[in-house]
Amino acid sequence: MVKDKKERLKELLDKQKQKGIKEQEKREYETVLEEVKELFPNTGSEEKVEILSKEDSKKITDELFKEFPFYRSGIEWTLMFYKTIFSNLVDYEGALAELVIKNHNVNNEICYIIDLNYQHVIKTKLIRIIHRIEEVRNWGRYIYSPQIKLVIEFPSNDIAVGWKK
């Protein structure tokens, strides 16, 4: 009888814990959804922005970590052969667009916004992100395009762009 009560209590505690985890995941997803609405207002049907599942987001984040040399605080830029770092003092939006368009075909390239603070990754077209770089830019966030092996990071007040040939 005592064992039954302990097992029942354990089951109830497990259910409560699972409920708390689901509520936390729901709040986190709603936060990401709100951020997508702020980053990409007036999204038309041809300009799709998608929030990936936790599983797909983890795959993309793992792929980013395998593709580029990461260190404790971010990408180890000294190990990147192809890179450009823009200071906040220049017209980095225009320079970034020119750099990426000159080196890559960006019209239909899929790109991911990876924020290491959240479990969900945002998927859209690279050209959309370039046009909204000021809004997207944030410490701990990466822009990653696997097709063209491109990564953008926002260390301090700079914008660092790296790619592999």
Residue-level pLDDT at 105: 62
Q: Which of 117, 120, 114, 119 lies closest to 145, judged by CA? A: 114
pLDDT at 2 over 80: no
> Where in the chain are the domains?
45-163
Question: What does the DSSP assignment read for 61-80?
Answer: HHHHHHHS-EETTEE-GGG-
Residue-level pLDDT at 71: 85
pLDDT at 3 over 80: no
Report which of residues 38 and 103 the model is more confident about. 38
Q: Which of 40, 19, 28 lies closest to 119, judged by CA? A: 28
Half-sphere exposure of 74 (CA within 13 A, CB side): 21
Provide, rounded to the nearest whole percent, the portion of the chain with pLDDT above 70: 84
Residue-level pLDDT at 61: 92
Q: How far is CA 156 from the centre of its chain?
A: 17
For the stretch 102-157, pLDDT in tens is 666 666 678 888 888 788 899 988 878 887 888 888 888 899 988 888 898 988 77
Q: Are 161 and 151 in contact (CB under 8 A)?
A: yes
What does the mean pLDDT of the chain come to? 82
For the stretch 59-84, pLDDT in tens is 999 999 999 999 887 899 888 888 88
Residue-level pLDDT at 64: 92
Residue-level pLDDT at 47: 63
